[in-house]
Amino acid sequence: MPPVYRIRKLTSCYARLFWAERHIESFEEEMRVFLDTNPFEIVREVNRDGTQYVYSVRETARPPLRLSLIAGDFLHNLRSCLDHLVWQMAGRPMGTKAQRVEFPIFDDPTDYSKAVQKKLRGVPARAKAAIERLQPYHASGAPFSFGPPLLSALYHLSNFEKHRHIPIVGVQPGHVYGTFEEMPLEQEFRANVVVKDGTEVARFAFARPDVSVQMTVDWVWCFMVADLNVIVPISYLRGMFEFVRDHILPQFHWYDDSTVKG
C-alpha cells in the first residue's frame, strides 16, 4: 500500500513569512547598533541673565541606507506571503490565468468591489469572505489605530519600495522629561514632532539664574508612509508582521491540509 503524505498547501506562504521575520529581526538589530552610536544629542542654550533655557537637537549621524534596504526586503516578503496565499487558494494558476491574482488590499469598499473578481478569481467563497473582512476599510479601532491600518500601511509601503527607498525620516521625542532644582515659572515640551538638526524640544524660564536641570529624552525612530502622508514609528514594521502571522494566516488554516497518496 503506498504511503500517505500530508501536504501543506500554504508552505510557500509560511516560507515568505519566515524570510520576512529574518529581515525584521535584522532590521531591529542593526537599528539598535545604530542607536548605540548616539546619533542625537541635546544641546542647551541659556540667555544672558541665566534664567531661560532652550534645549535643541544636534544630529551627529543619519540612518545608513542599509536600514532602508533591509526594511524593503522585509516588506517585499511580507506582501508576497499574502499574494502566495491567494495564488495557492486560486488553484496555483499559470500563464494569463495568473495575471492580477493577488491578495487585494483596499482603503475603499467601492474600489475593492471593482477589483476583487480578477484578484480573487478561483478562490473559495469562504476565503473570499475572510479576505473582505480583513480589508483596511473595516479597521477602525483595530490594533495600531493611532495610525493607518496595518494592511493599508503594508500596501502603500510595499508599492513605494518598488521604486524608491523607504524613507526613515528621523526621530520623534516620544517623551521629554525635565528634573529641576526648582520648578520653572514657564515650561514647554515638544514631543511627537520629527526632529532634525537644530529642532527645539523644550524651553524653560526660572525666577533666578543658574537653576540645575537634568533633561531626558526617549527617542522614537519613524518612517514616512508617503502615499498616505503620515509618519509612523518603526514599530509599525513589527506590528505588520505580527498582524499577518497571528491574525491573517490562522484564518486560512482550514484550507492548509490535503491528503494525497505518494
pLDDT at position 55: 92
pLDDT in tens, 155-166: 999 988 888 878
Predicted confidence (pLDDT) at residue 49 exceeds the cutoff of 60: yes
Q: How far apart are CA 105 and CA 138, in angstroms?
A: 11
Location of C-alpha cell 467601492:
110
Location of C-alpha cell 542593526:
30
Report CA-CA distances (Å) from 249 to 11, 83, 124, 259.
Answer: 11, 12, 15, 20
Mean pLDDT for the chain overall: 85
Burial class (CB in 10 A: 0-12, 13-18, 19+), 169: middle
Which of 193, 245, 216, 262 shows the shortest CA–CA distance to 78?
245
Mean pLDDT of 211-218: 86
pTM above 0.85, yes or no: no
Is 2 in contact with 261 (CB distance < 8 Å)? yes
**Ranges of each domain in the chain:** 4-261
Q: How many CA atoms lie within 13 A of 197 on its CB side?
A: 5
pLDDT at position 7: 42
Q: Which three cell numbers stand for residue 49?
A: 541673565
Mean pLDDT of 212-226: 83
Q: How far apart are CA 244 and CA 232, in angstroms?
A: 18
Q: Which three cell numbers stand for residue 91?
A: 488553484
Predicted confidence (pLDDT) at residue 17 exceeds the cutoff of 90: yes
Q: For residues 196, 197, 202 and 208, what is the CA-based torsion angle, rounded to 10 degrees?
A: 180
Selected residue with higher pLDDT from 187 and 7? 187
Q: How far apart are CA 224 and CA 63, in angstroms?
A: 14
| Cβ-proximal residues to 1 (8 Å cutoff; 6+ apart), any chain | none
Q: Coil, strand, or helix at residue 110?
A: helix
Predicted confidence (pLDDT) at residue 247 exceeds the cutoff of 90: yes
Mean pLDDT of 98-116: 90
Q: Coil, strand, or helix at residue 146?
A: coil
Chain-centroid distance of CA 108 in Å reads 21
Q: How far apart are CA 232 and CA 200, in angstroms?
A: 20
pLDDT in tens, 112-131: 999 998 999 999 999 999 99
pLDDT grade for 261, boundaries at 50, 70 and 90: very low
pLDDT at position 146: 59
pLDDT at position 196: 81
pLDDT in tens, 51-98: 999 999 898 888 888 999 999 999 999 999 999 999 999 888 887 666
pLDDT at position 124: 93
Helix ranges restricted to H, 136-194: 150-161
Predicted confidence (pLDDT) at residue 193 exceeds the cutoff of 90: no
Taking CA 242 as the corner, what is the angle to CA 124 and CA 118, rounded to the nearest 5 degrees? Answer: 30
User: What residue ranges in 65-211 does DSSP mark as E strands?
Assistant: 170-180, 186-189, 200-205
Q: Which of 57-61, 173-177, 191-195 has the highest mean pLDDT?
A: 57-61
Predicted confidence (pLDDT) at residue 167 exceeds the cutoff of 50: yes
